[in-house]
């Protein structure tokens, strides 16, 4: 019950409904137990003595009981669904809120399908148990209590005889629970694996098809499906082992009653009505014992679901606000960024070299920093640390002298806009995608941002213009179009710091050049980080950092770097190799100290 104790905060405020559900069912059940007593009265007091006058009254009494019983059943159903649905609602909200709080580190290893199944199937399992299963489990207990109390009242000796089977059934039920719980846990895990595989297959369907890997995917799915089936077969095996045992022992008690009770009726120490009543009551008590397996199932299943949800809800949030964190005010922030001897290693890469080592950088407000380096050299990691996607391992990053760890997260991220390598668009209109960071932006502001990002033109050519729905539910856009929408989204925020992480890689050089000009115009006096593999994206930077395996190996302006041997010059040579005249002219210009713009 520890799991449910831990989940108490989600349903305890509705304890009245929980109680209503339990008490409603308990009273309805207790009323059901009155029928055998009515039968006893009918046989012993009316049929055998031949006094038929009371039969009508008895029938009306039975109808009355049916009506009251139905009312209490309604209370059970109504209260149960209230508590269950409210609990599920709160759990969904809290889990979703937790998903928003969890940091990048968590998502580095989380699987979408698994999270989806926690938020749907697992919550559903808990809703069913708290809403109905719990009341039914308690009802079985009440039924045993009231049932045997009434049987005691009719004939205690006979009742004691049939009761010997109850501890045996109880013992088997407990063993059953112990055996079935791990099976349920693995069923839930198998469902989650299956969901992950379907979700990944759908998301990556283009890759699957273009590599003609459908047979492989089918095989992979079949493996998961087999796993799921085998788990269910395992469940069926446990059922098959315990169910007949419980049924046999339950029926044994009926046989004991018929044998001993029949003998006593013949002897005259028990009336026929009493035997019929005892038989009826025993049937009522034994029936839920058969169902005990189902209820235990329900309980263990929802316990397994609860464990999975608690695992998510109790997940440690590694990046959060420090006590008395400083709120960065729009007017006060200058944007002076410093990396002081920063080293960093990803939590899931303990045995591997650090992503950044001794990273030192001073970025005065209003400057443009370029970053170049091979794949995996640490460029994205360096900028991710600035917005606290992760916290530095050693050293510190400061903005205007304040350690980013002491700045309120929301205000830190409000002033930094990042355009990622892969632009993500939500399944909504282009307009809403651009205004994602500033939901109340005016149409003019949105259009202006799109113009700056060279996106306005193609957006207007779409049949529904800015109202066109894109993303999963909408129409597809080219990589370059998506990048431009993502850049417009960032520019609309007029951030103090703009980070372009290979954000123009899908654009032709001319468009890229136009966007660079816009950015220079919008970001005057503000700080820009440009991560790129193209020299044309970096050549106007105030300082270019060249990274290799997490270390800064070169730094300086374009003019200086093309004269030094190293990655920058190599990249420059490769990219301009097919235009030796430009390379030559460039070098001549350098020699004569002239400035010449290369647009590529």
Ligand X SMILES: Nc1ncnc2c1ncn2[C@@H]1O[C@H](COP(=O)(O)OP(=O)(O)OP(=O)(O)O)[C@@H](O)[C@H]1O
**Contacting positions for ligand X (CB under 6 A):** 108, 346, 348-349, 355, 373, 375-381, 421
Closer to ligand X by CB, 86 or 482: give it: 482
**CB of 365 closer than 8 Å to CB of 495:** no
Nearest-approach distance from CB 550 to ligand X, in angstroms: 7
Closer to ligand X by CB, 192 or 380: give it: 380
* Torsion of the alpha carbons at 39, 45, 47 and 49, rounded to the nearest 10: 160
Closer to ligand X by CB, 231 or 571: give it: 571
Strands 402-403 and 394-399: what pairing? Answer: antiparallel
Question: CA nearest 535: which of 487, 476, 586?
Answer: 586
End-to-end CA distance of the chain: 68
Closer to ligand X by CB, 316 or 324: give it: 316
Angstrom distance (rounded) from CA 237 to CA 408: 55
Query: In this structure, what are the phi and psi dihedrals at residue 555, rounded to the nearest 5 degrees?
Result: -155, 150
Closer to ligand X by CB, 559 or 570: give it: 570
**Beta carbons within 8 Å of 582's beta carbon, 6+ residues apart:** 576, 598
Nearest-approach distance from CB 393 to ligand X, in angstroms: 12
Closer to ligand X by CB, 249 or 372: give it: 372
Number of Cβ within a 10 Å radius of residue 382: 27
Nearest-approach distance from CB 472 to ligand X, in angstroms: 23
Q: How many residues are present in the chain?
A: 600
Nearest-approach distance from CB 357 to ligand X, in angstroms: 11
Nearest-approach distance from CB 345 to ligand X, in angstroms: 8
State the DSSP string of 82-117: HHHHHHHHHHHHHHHHHHHHS-HHHHHH--HHHHHH
Closer to ligand X by CB, 35 or 346: give it: 346
**CA 262 to the chain's CA centroid:** 61
Taking the CA atoms of the chain, what radius of gyration do you get in angstroms?
Answer: 36
Nearest-approach distance from CB 512 to ligand X, in angstroms: 17
Closer to ligand X by CB, 210 or 348: give it: 348
**Beta carbons within 8 Å of 252's beta carbon, 6+ residues apart:** 165
Helical (H) or strand (E) element with 422: none
In the block, tokens 């050549």 appear at: 539
Helical (H) or strand (E) element with 565: none
Nearest-approach distance from CB 109 to ligand X, in angstroms: 8
In the block, tokens 């050293």 appear at: 395
**CB of 359 closer than 8 Å to CB of 397:** no
DSSP tag of 442: -
Which residues pair with residue 410 across a beta bridge?
none
Nearest-approach distance from CB 313 to ligand X, in angstroms: 23
Nearest-approach distance from CB 391 to ligand X, in angstroms: 14
Which residues pair with residue 370 across a beta bridge?
530, 544
Closer to ligand X by CB, 381 or 429: give it: 381
Backbone torsion region of residue 592, taken as left when φ is above 0, otherwise alpha when ψ lies between -120 and 50, otherwise beta: alpha
Nearest-approach distance from CB 503 to ligand X, in angstroms: 11
In 3-state terms, the chain is what percent helix, strand and coil (to 5)? 65, 10, 25
Question: Helix 156-163 crosses helix 214-267 at what angle (to 10 degrees)?
Answer: 150
Angstrom distance (rounded) from CA 383 to CA 372: 13
Closer to ligand X by CB, 18 or 382: give it: 382
* Torsion of the alpha carbons at 474, 479, 481 and 486, rounded to the nearest 10: 90
Nearest-approach distance from CB 505 to ligand X, in angstroms: 10
Closer to ligand X by CB, 157 or 349: give it: 349
Angstrom distance (rounded) from CA 510 to CA 482: 17
Closer to ligand X by CB, 30 or 531: give it: 531
Closer to ligand X by CB, 136 or 381: give it: 381
Nearest-approach distance from CB 368 to ligand X, in angstroms: 18
Closer to ligand X by CB, 293 or 378: give it: 378
Nearest-approach distance from CB 386 to ligand X, in angstroms: 12
**CB of 227 closer than 8 Å to CB of 190:** yes
Angstrom distance (rounded) from CA 445 to CA 430: 14
State the DSSP string of 307-364: HHHHHHHT----S-PPTTPBPPPTTT----EEEEEEEE--GGGTTS--SEEEEEEEE-
Nearest-approach distance from CB 315 to ligand X, in angstroms: 17
């Amino acid at each position: 019950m520890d799991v449910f104790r831990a989940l108490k905060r989600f349903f305890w405020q509705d304890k009245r409904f929980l109680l209503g559900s339990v008490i409603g069912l308990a009273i309805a059940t207790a009323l059901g137990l009155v029928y055998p007593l009515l039968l006893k009265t009918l046989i012993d007091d009316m049929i055998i003595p031949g006094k038929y006058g009371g039969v009508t009254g008895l029938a009306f009494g039975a109808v009355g009981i049916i009506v009251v019983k139905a009312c209490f059943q309604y209370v059970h159903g109504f209260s149960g669904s209230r508590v269950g649905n409210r609990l599920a609602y709160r759990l969904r909200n809290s889990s979703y809120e937790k998903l928003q709080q969890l940091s990048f580190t968590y998502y580095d290893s989380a699987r979408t399908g698994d999270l989806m199944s926690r938020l749907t199937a697992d919550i559903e399992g808990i809703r069913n148990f708290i809403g109905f299963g719990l009341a039914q489990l308690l009802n079985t207990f009440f039924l045993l209590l009231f049932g045997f109390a009434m049987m005691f009242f009719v004939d205690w000796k006979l009742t004691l005889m049939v009761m010997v089977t109850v501890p045996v059934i109880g013992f088997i039920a407990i063993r059953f629970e112990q055996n079935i719980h791990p099976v349920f846990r693995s069923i839930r895990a198998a469902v989650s694996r299956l969901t992950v595989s379907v979700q990944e297959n759908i998301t990556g369907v283009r890759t699957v098809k273009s590599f003609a890997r459908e047979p492989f995917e089918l095989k992979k799915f079949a493996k998961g499906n087999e796993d799921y089936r085998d788990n269910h077969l395992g469940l069926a095996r446990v059922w098959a082992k315990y169910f007949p045992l419980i049924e046999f022992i339950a029926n044994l008690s009926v046989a004991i009653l018929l044998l001993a009770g029949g003998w006593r009726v013949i002897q005259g120490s028990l009336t026929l009505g009493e035997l019929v009543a005892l038989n009826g009551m025993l049937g009522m008590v034994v029936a839920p014992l058969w169902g005990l397996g189902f209820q235990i199932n329900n309980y263990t299943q929802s316990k397994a679901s609860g464990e999975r949800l608690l695992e998510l809800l109790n997940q440690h949030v590694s990046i959060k606000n420090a006590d008395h964190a400083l709120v960065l005010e729009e007017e006060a922030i200058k944007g002076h960024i410093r990396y002081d001897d920063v080293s960093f290693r990803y939590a899931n890469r303990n045995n591997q070299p650090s992503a950044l080592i001794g990273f030192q950088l001073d970025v005065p407000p209003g400057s443009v920093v370029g970053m170049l380096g091979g794949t995996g050299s640490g460029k994205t990691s360096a900028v991710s640390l600035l917005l606290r996607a992760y916290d530095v391992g050693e050293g510190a990053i400061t903005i205007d002298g304040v350690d980013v760890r002491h700045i309120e997260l929301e205000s830190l991220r409000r002033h930094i806009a990042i355009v990622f390598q892969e632009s993500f668009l939500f399944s909504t209109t282009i307009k809403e995608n651009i205004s994602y960071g500033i939901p109340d932006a005016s149409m003019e502001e949105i259009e202006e941002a799109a113009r700056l990002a060279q996106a306005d033109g193609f957006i207007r050519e779409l049949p529904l213009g800015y109202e066109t729905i894109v993303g999963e539910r909408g129409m597809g856009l080219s990589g370059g179009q998506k990048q431009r929408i993502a850049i417009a989204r960032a520019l609309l925020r007029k951030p103090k710091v703009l980070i372009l992480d290979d954000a123009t890689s899908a654009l032709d050089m001319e468009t890229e050049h136009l966007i660079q000009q816009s950015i220079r115009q919008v970001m005057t006096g503000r700080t820009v980080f440009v991560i790129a593999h193209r020299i044309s994206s970096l050549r106007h930077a105030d300082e270019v950092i060249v990274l290799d395996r997490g270390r800064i190996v070169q730094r300086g302006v374009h003019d200086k770097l093309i004269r030094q041997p190293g990655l920058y010059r190599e990249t420059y040579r490769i990219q301009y190799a097919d235009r030796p005249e430009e390379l030559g002219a460039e070098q001549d210009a350098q020699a004569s100290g002239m400035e010449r713009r290369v647009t590529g």
